[in-house]
Amino acid sequence: MMKNLTEVTTETRNYFADTFTVYYLEPTFKDKLTTARKFQNCINYYLKYKKVEKWPLDYYSRNQTEEERKIILRKYWLKYFSFLLDEQQNIQNINQWIQEEKPIKIGENLGFIRMAFTRIMMEAFNEKRAENLKQKKE
């Protein structure tokens, strides 16, 4: 059964957040230029810019089950990065991958990851620019 690819569902949000978890927490450190490493650096820059006190690793505990960790990190990613779900193309891609039952792993969905870090950086730069303009007016 074909579902509406433009609808943001719980499954869409979960897949989105789980993709962030995989690319942020499981990068390969052998090559510092990998997409996953660049993504992690981008996330760190954005969180530092937003002055977020708790970072994803702060929510990662050995005392948690895998499911508990997944739920906590999903909430975290959606809290800070749900603006990426405002773009129809992202929603369609994610829903298409869900339909195709594509696994989330490093090396997959590279276009989405690259777009995400471009959009995240643009968001930070635009906010910084707006702050600078506001300060100049004062």
Q: For 103-119, what is each residue's pLDDT tens digit? A: 888 777 788 888 888 89
User: What confidence score (pLDDT) does residue 13 get?
Assistant: 93
| Helix residue ranges per DSSP H, the chain | 10-25, 35-49, 66-81, 88-99, 110-137
Contact 138, 55 (CB under 8 A): no
Inter-residue contact 113 to 19 (CB < 8 Å): yes
Task: Report CA-CA distances (Å) from 110 to 42, 106, 125.
Answer: 15, 8, 23
Domain boundaries of the chain, sorted by first residue: 10-137
Left (φ > 0), alpha (ψ -120 to 50) or beta: where does 91 sit?
A: alpha
Q: Which residues of the chain have pLDDT under 70?
A: 1-3, 27-33
pLDDT at 110: 80
Query: How many Cβ atoms are within 10 Å of 39's Cβ, its own excluded?
Result: 23
What is the structure's pLDDT at 8? 87
**For residue 16, what pLDDT is reported?**
93
**Contact criterion met (CB below 8 Å) for 23 and 106:** yes
d(C-alpha 106, C-alpha 30), whole Å: 13
**pLDDT for the residue 1:** 44
Per-residue pLDDT at 134: 83
Residue-level pLDDT at 120: 92
